[in-house]
């Protein structure tokens, strides 16, 4: 028997229904906020992610499914969604419409080669939104508000964590202060953090090693080193959250795992999915369009991990719907077949091809959660009628086939 690869999983039956419910709920809410659908390829040039996510990130350094295709091109399976959307944005020359604003939502498979665990697979799925052309912190808040609406609709509890990552004006000075601090305790840092001190010291703040985290308690905090503009925006975001009674925590070590973020960064976390607690995250990335050869364009976005929230989602009560059609006589199948075709123009229909007794047909209707069980036996066939039972009201009747 051939099995699915490790870290890659089939979605069937109840899991697939839960997946579709999450996606359709998120799409419905994203549309209310003015977002339209975008689809980007799963396979992209590797340099797209090296330039956007950052070569010093764990994603690029350790986790990408990267290979040469038959044409000798260096390609990889997308490890996240934002870079591809930005590449599409620039390629379509939307960045040249400087007065316009663009809002896109997407969903699909992402790939990272890492140790599979609960809520984290090598092939996983994300739903995300990207907003281009709006520099106001009100848009940052609106994105956070939208995610909250999605989780509320799905019945998921969460905690919101926020931070500011500054901008090119205040980040260099903070970076120097952080390097000086990390250099003094470098011997006690883990191997990855020792490498990050010289490549990208901000990544040290994201380390999950407990010893590294204990050392960072006394590290300089970025929100204490913001320029006036970044400080003003962050305080405005806090005021907006408080005005809408949205609970939040300021996490000074929250830097996200990607290099393109600036200013606002946020994560939605849950205590109910094991050690990997983030269920959604995002922030502002005002320089990424420019990094990918576009014209300077402010942008902000997020992604939520569908597998991470699957077990947390409260599914709506599944009501009975549609028809189950069955025959008690072989000859009745030919009569039922065109009826099923006509009914499918307006209703969900399940047609049983094998003749069975009435009791078996009623069980079959239960299995597919049909509202009505409609059966033709010998008497019905001779009289041009069909027997119907409403499985909700528990009422039954016999009507003409023409009326049905």
- Domain containing 54 — which CATH number? 3.30.930.10
Same domain, 327 and 286: no
Nearest CA-CA partner of 364 in 377, 376, 351: 351
176 inside domain:
no
61-70 burial, b if ≥16 CB within 10 A, otherwise e?
bebbbeeeee
Q: Choose one of 312, 332, 358: the last residue of a domain.
A: 312
CA distances to 67, 73, 104, 146, 306 from 70, in Å? 10, 7, 32, 42, 33
What sign does the dihedral 113-117-123-127 (CA atoms) show? negative
SS3 51: helix
> In the predicted model, what is the mean pLDDT of the chain?
93
Nearest CA-CA partner of 139 in 213, 222, 34, 211: 34
Same domain, 81 and 125: yes
157 inside domain:
yes
Distance between CA 134 and CA 115 in Å, rounded?
37
357 compared with 61, residue with greater pLDDT: 357
Asked if 161 and 249 touch (Cβ cutoff 8 Å), the reply is: yes
| Residue 243 structural domain | 13-170+226-312
Span 114-134, mean pLDDT?
Answer: 92
Residue 42 has pLDDT above 70, yes or no: yes
Q: What is the CATH number of the domain that holds 379?
A: 3.40.50.800
């008497």: which residue's tokens? Answer: 379
- What is the count of structural domains for the chain? 2
Same domain, 304 and 329: no
Same domain, 18 and 53: yes
Same domain, 298 and 337: no
Reported as type and span, the H/E element at residue 222 is: none
Same domain, 393 and 267: no
Same domain, 117 and 56: yes
Asked if 148 and 39 touch (Cβ cutoff 8 Å), the reply is: no
pLDDT digits (tens, 9 = 90+) for 128-169: 999 999 999 999 999 999 999 999 999 999 999 999 999 999
SS3 17: helix
Strand partners, 127: 107, 304
Reported as type and span, the H/E element at residue 292 is: none
Question: What pLDDT sits at residue 257?
Answer: 65
Length of the chain: 404
CA distances to 104, 183, 254, 328, 333 from 368, in Å? 36, 64, 47, 19, 19
Instruction: Give one word for 52, left, alpha or beta, with left for phi > 0 and alpha for psi -120 to 50.
Output: alpha
End-to-end CA distance of the chain: 47
pLDDT digits (tens, 9 = 90+) for 283-342: 999 999 999 999 999 999 999 999 999 989 989 889 999 999 999 999 999 999 999 999
Same domain, 307 and 394: no
């Amino acid at each position: 028997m051939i099995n699915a690869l490790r870290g890659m999983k089939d979605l069937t039956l109840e899991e697939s229904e839960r997946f579709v419910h999450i996606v359709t709920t998120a799409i419905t809410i994203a549309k209310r906020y003015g977002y339209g659908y975008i689809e980007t390829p799963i396979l992209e040039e590797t340099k797209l992610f090296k330039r956007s996510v950052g070569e010093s990130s764990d994603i690029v350094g350790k986790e990408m499914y990267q290979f040469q295709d038959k044409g000798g091109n260096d390609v990889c399976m997308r490890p996240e969604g934002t870079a591809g959307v930005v590449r599409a944005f620039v390629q379509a020359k939307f960045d040249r419409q400087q007065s316009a604003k663009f809002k896109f939502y997407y969903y699909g498979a992402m790939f990272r080669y890492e140790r599979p665990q609960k809520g984290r697979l090598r092939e996983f799925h994300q739903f995300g939104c990207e907003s281009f052309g709006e520099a106001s912190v009100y848009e940052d808040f609106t994105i956070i508000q939208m995610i909250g609406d999605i989780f509320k609709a799905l019945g998921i509890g969460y905690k919101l964590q926020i931070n500011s990552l500054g901008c090119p004006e205040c980040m260099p000075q903070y970076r120097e202060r952080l390097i000086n601090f990390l250099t003094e305790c470098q011997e006690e840092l883990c191997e990855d953090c020792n490498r990050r001190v010289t490549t990208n010291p901000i990544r040290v703040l994201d380390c999950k090693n407990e010893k590294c985290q204990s050392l960072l308690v006394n590290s300089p905090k970025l929100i204490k080193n913001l320029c006036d503009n970044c400080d003003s925006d962050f305080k405005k975001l806090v005021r907006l959250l408080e005005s809408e009674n949205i609970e939040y925590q300021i996490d000074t070590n929250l830097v996200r795992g990607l290099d393109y973020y600036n200013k606002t960064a946020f994560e939605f976390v849950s205590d109910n999915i094991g050690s990997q607690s983030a269920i959604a995250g995002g922030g502002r990335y005002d320089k990424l369009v420019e990094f990918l050869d576009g014209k300077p364009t402010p942008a902000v976005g997020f992604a939520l991990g569908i597998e991470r929230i699957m077990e947390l989602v409260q599914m709506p009560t599944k009501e009975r719907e549609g028809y189950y059609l069955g025959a008690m006589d072989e000859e009745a199948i030919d009569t039922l077949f065109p009826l099923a075709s006509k009914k499918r123009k307006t209703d969900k229909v399940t047609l049983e091809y094998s003749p069975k007794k009435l009791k078996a047909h009623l069980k079959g209707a239960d299995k597919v959660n049909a509202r009505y069980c409609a059966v033709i036996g010998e008497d019905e066939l001779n009289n041009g009628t069909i027997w119907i039972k409403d499985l909700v009201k528990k009422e039954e009747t016999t009507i003409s086939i023409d009326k049905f």
